[in-house]
Structures are given as structure tokens and as C-alpha cells.
A and B are shown apart, each in its own frame.
Chain A
């Protein structure tokens, strides 16, 4: 076991795969010599060589495009998009090409590539460094979209992603890189070094995608969360004094609906959290699936707590962020206390 923050865990996953498999290449903007703006690839070029870890032009469409060609030609590219806010120029290559190649060629070609990108707010990044665009990707058949919430999962899930034979979008909640974040910016942050999930096994291990992680076993309600909101859920439930089943989804597509419905059928109440904007957010999909699977077990309407339907503001960061207060309101609502 080693103590790692989330960046180190992600780097370790790439390092291990690069060591094991010469087909694994890592590239993106400022990824090579410098090691990435969040340092996720620091040292990889020095260790594995210029050919294995290198800088690309500032061209997200180009980055995804070459990754597809490489993946189809037998390599295992791991491409970094510097911020998820800048993934849109690559959207066409992801949606129309990477996710479709296997289907349209009936399996003759495929694109086993991994796209890593930091998501979410909490770092005063404003409109262009805070977005959570997961719902724009979970709507794409042929793509997998996953999001870890801690170093242990990040490493195991990234290894799973790199070894997966389909394209995987690997979202990294950037507010969690250094430590868990409970939603209140005024409380000094703790580091992963002090948290048990900062304990990361050395060497190769995998965390399967379709496997929700239960943080707390409770009977009052089920809270569905992913990424940063997992930690906010934990803090808010504690403060609200409820005993909740808190599920960290890990993978949005594919989704472990079995585990989700098992929990909701037990508790009869469901609260859904995400940082992304509300309308047509992934919470809408979760809400629909829970309603379809568990309607007759529900004792209260499903409640969603999300970011507002605005661009991510700068000065109003904490007014936008669905912090503990908003989550607690949601808990009260789903518990029928308000």
C-alpha cells in the first residue's frame, strides 16, 4: 500500500499500463515534458520516452482524431483533454467516430481509447474551467462514461478503462485531486494522506465499472451521487442526521441499475445529486430509471439537487455549487419534512 492523492493514483495507473504494454501511449496539451497542467503525467516522458508520452497541438478534435486512428491500428492511446470545458471541439470525433466505429464496421474496426479530462467546479475556474458535461456523453451509444471519487477508485478504474476494448471517457473531479471535499469551502481541506481511500495498492488492480460503491448503509433514504457530490452527500447526510444509503455510482454508462434499485426498494426514498446543470442532466436519466424500476416502492417523489441552469459563474461559485445546504434541503424534501 502507498499513500497517494488522486493525481498520483491516476499517474500510477498510466505508469503501470505503460510499463506493461508498449501499445499504451499518453498525449495531450502540455502533457509531455511538463507533465500536464494538473501534473497527472509528470515524469512519464522521462521514464518511458518521448514516443510514449508527448505534447499535442491545441486541437481537441485532432487529439481525439489521432487517438481513434491509433486505437484502430492496435495501440491503446490515453488522451488528455486539459479541461472538460474544452472537449467540445473533439465532440464530433467522440460521438460520431470513436463511439460508432465498432458498430458501423460491424466489429471490423474498433477504437479502444481512453479520454481523461478534469471536470467540475470548486476551484474558482468560472465558466470555462468548471463544467460537468457528463450528460452530453451518456447519451452516446457506444461510449462508456465513468467518474471516480477517490484515489483508490481512480487508479483501479483508469486501468480498467485502458484495458477496455471500447472507448471510455474518464472524468476526473478536479476538486478531489488533493483531498475529499465536503462542500464547504470555509472548512480547511483535508488531504488524501489522511483518508483511508488515499491508501492505494501498489501494482496492477482493477475496479469494474458497473459496480456502485456503497459509502454508508442506511434505511432512511437512498442518495445517488458521483464525483465530488459523493463527499457532499456524506457530509450533508451526517449533518441532517439521517441514516442514508449513499451510492457512489462510479460509472454512469454502463449503469449498475440493479444495485440502485435494490437500495431504493429498501429505503423507499431517492435523492439524486449532481453538480451539472439540472435540465436534461444525468439526474433526469437516473430519476426516470428509478421511477421505472421502483415506483411502487417509493414513499415520496424523487428529488434532484443540482447546479442551477446557468453557466458556471465565477464570483458566485458557492452560490452555484450544490453544497451541503442545498443537499440538506433536498434530504428534508425527500423525507417529507418540509
Chain B
């Protein structure tokens, strides 16, 4: 930022475009093939300083995979990644529509960010604990959690493993390495560091991987996490998903205007990577690198996934009220599903017909699973969740005062 006068004036950042503007992102350079080199995962953290300000990319828009970050994935693995992303999107679409029909209180989509969750998950071991936000449902789909159970959680019905205790998308799937998602932003980064420290203490080679949006990096917990991860060389990956928007606030409001979010890690002596989050292969490669570093004792890596939130924040907001309607289309990094699809077709491992068929298949499968889930109840009909379960799991054992409150509640019935 250049200084305009010799007097301080309060500066309030504003996004480059608001509704009514014609968004033009030609000033954002999309690097074609000058990704920073891939250092040894156990390198000195200083060797990744450059990686915090550039962008790791593997996929060119023509589908070619280039550079030394290109991961060695089989065609089957890539096709699974593609399908998991498509399933995630199909599920998001279905659930969004069902929320609109009043079947659930709320929903949050991850459209445009599917590579971040699916490719990341694929590059981890299944027993590595992830501490996701509400936008990494792709991890569950990739790891094979029951989609029906996910849906039942959103519907808060009899099939909800959480028995209606949490709002939609705040899943908990311990057996799938998916930590209970908190509704309080940022809090889980530091918990993941503690989880990782415990893994190291137990001489296990398990690692933890935590997520935050770029907006919530402004919370103190983010700073705690970087600090503790560095101090104790915790085996963790700290992921910032920079999807440009935090509800209606652009990333500049979280001090993203002058510096990248990955660069936050350099001052703490963490390895730092900044990756094209719409590039499935690059997300996979960055995660694989950071996971190896953490597992082998090299400590934590901060990864910024540079991406774009293509839809509203949740079912509760209308994004056209704060950003141009066509901004998602003109955002210059494309769509993660399209880009992996192009790559697979270009390398002769996929074709347009199969893609269209798979799209339909995902839609049908999701519709069928949803039908089954809905049979167990919805918020608008009957959730079929026993009200008395609200008194359970406050503590391991029911204390006297809650027992008394159960009796009091019975009198209301």
C-alpha cells in the first residue's frame, strides 16, 4: 500500500468489486508453470519462505500435469478423487434444496472447494485426525463415512448419531478421523496441535490436520496454534482455506490484502506452502509433502489453499447482496471438478460421456440415499429424536441437578 499523504487516515479495506461492478481479475496472475520447486519434506523451514508467497500448481488449464510437484497417482485414484468431489457437490446441492423446502434448519455448501477437502483427505492416512470446519464434508465422503448418517445429522432425525445435539453439518465421525466440528470459529487449530503433541508423546506416527477459513485466522486461537505448533514441533498440518470470503467480508478484512495467509507461518519458523486450492493434484501434493514432514519429525506446515467460495456462505445469506453476481464465473482459477476432469480426459483416462453419466449417477445415488434418510424424520415433520436425550452427555454421569431437571421436564409433558 502506498502512502498517500503524510497524515494518518483511518483505512478500511474494501473488496475490488461490489454488486453492480464488472469484476475483472486480470490483475491476478495465474502462474502457468513456475511453481516453486519441491524441496525435501524435511528441509529447513526457511527453504519454504518463497512457497508462502507464490503458488504451487500442477494442473494447467489444458489438463496437463507439470512440474516436480505432480504427484504419482494412479488413474483409479484420480477417478476416485473426481467421483468423491462430484458426490460432495451432488450432496451439497440436494441438501441445499431440501433446506429450502424446510426439511432442515440450515445447510452449508462447499462448492468450488471440493478439491481442498477430498485431495487433502486422500493424501493423509485414514487414522490421521482431521479437525475440519463446516466446509470439509469432502473428507467424510472420501473416507467412506455413511452419507446417510451425514444426512440424518443434518435432518436431526432418528438416524442422527448426535441425537439432535448439533446443528447441520457440524459432524463428528471419530472412526473416520473427523473431529467433532465446533461452531466456534478458529478454536480447533490449537486443539489439533494438542492432538498432534499427544501422538508424538505416544511415539505414534499419527498426525493431525486442522482447518480454518481465512476470515477466522484473525482469531487469537490461530496465533496460539502457530506458536505451539512451532514450539513443540507438533506433527500437524495447519490449513487456511482462503476462499476469498468470510460471509460478506472479503479476505482483506482479515489482513489478507498485503500479505498471503501462508506467510503468517514464516515468522513462527513453520514450513509454509501456498497452493492452488482448485487444483486437485496440487492440493494432494502439498498435503503429501506436509504429512511426510510431520510424520518424520519435521514439525508443522501451514498450508494456504487459495480458492473461491462459489456460493453463499450458508443457506442464510444471499451473496449477490455483497459481491457481483458473476464473480464466481470470472474468478480466474476455474473449477476443481472441471480441471481434474480435463486432466483425466487429456491423459486418456476419462471421457465426456462417462463424466455426464457419472454426474447423473451421483445425483441419483444421492437422491436415493436422501430418501432413505428422510424416512427417519425431518425437522419440519417430526425429528423422532427423544427429547430426554438432551440431558445426556452433558457429563459422563448424570449429576443430581440434571436428574432433578429431568423430573421437572416430565411435569411439562
> Could you list which residues of chain A lie within 8 angstroms of chain B, going by C-beta atoms?
25, 51, 56-57, 59, 61-62, 65-75, 77, 89, 92-93, 96-97, 100-110, 141-142, 144, 165-166, 210, 254-255, 257-258
B42 within 8 A of A: no
User: Within the complex, what minimum Cβ distance (angstroms) separates B91 from chain A?
Assistant: 21
**How far in angstroms is the closest Cβ of chain A from B174?**
5
Contact of B395 with A by CB under 8 A: yes
Contact A66 B193 (CB under 8 A): yes
Q: Contact: A65 with B172, CB < 8 Å?
A: no
Task: Name the CB-closest residue of B to A103.
Answer: B393
Contacts of A73 in B (CB 8 A): 129, 194-195, 198-199
Report the minimal beta-carbon distance from A167 to chain B, rounded to whole angstroms.
10
Q: Given A103-B165, A104-B162, A109 and B172 touching (CB < 8 A)?
A: yes
How far apart are the CA atoms of A90 and B67 in the complex, in Å?
44
Task: Report chain B residues within 8 Å CB of A257.
Answer: 400-401
B393 lies within 8 A of A61 (CB):
no
Question: Nearest Cβ distance between residue A50 and chain B, in whole angstroms?
Answer: 11
B224 within 8 A of A: yes
The answer to whether B166 touches A66 (Cβ under 8 A) is: no
Q: Are B227 and A57 neighbours in the complex by a CB distance under 8 Å?
A: yes
Q: In chain B, what residue has the closest Cβ to A113? A: B194
Query: Are A165 and B396 closer than 8 Å at their CB atoms?
Result: yes
Residues in A neighbouring B196, C-beta threshold 8 A: 69
Is A102 a contact partner of B190 (Cβ separation < 8 A)?
no
Asked whether A69 lies within 8 Å of B227 as measured between CB atoms, the reply is no
- How many B residues are at the interface, by size bracket? 35 or more
Taking each of A25, A74, A89, A106, which has the highest tally of chain B beta carbons within 10 Å of its own beta carbon?
A106
Which residues on the B side are within 8 Å of A254 (C-beta)?
399-401
The reply to whether B182 and A65 form a contact with Cβ atoms under 8 Å apart is no
CA distance A109 to B179 in the complex (A): 8
| Shortest Cβ distance from B396 into A: residue | A165
B180 in contact with A62 (CB, 8 Å): no
- B161 on the interface (CB 8 Å rule)? yes
Residue of A nearest to B198 (CB): A73
Chain A residues positioned under 8 Å from B392 (CB to CB)? 106-107
CB of B395 within 8 A of CB of A51, answer no
Specify which of A51, A65, A100 is in contact with B190 (CB 8 Å cutoff): A65
Q: List 27 A-B pairs, Cβ < 8 Å.
A: A57-B224, A57-B227, A57-B228, A59-B228, A61-B224, A65-B191, A65-B193, A65-B224, A66-B228, A69-B208, A70-B201, A71-B194, A72-B191, A92-B187, A93-B221, A97-B187, A103-B393, A104-B162, A105-B162, A105-B172, A106-B161, A106-B162, A106-B392, A107-B393, A108-B172, A109-B174, A257-B401
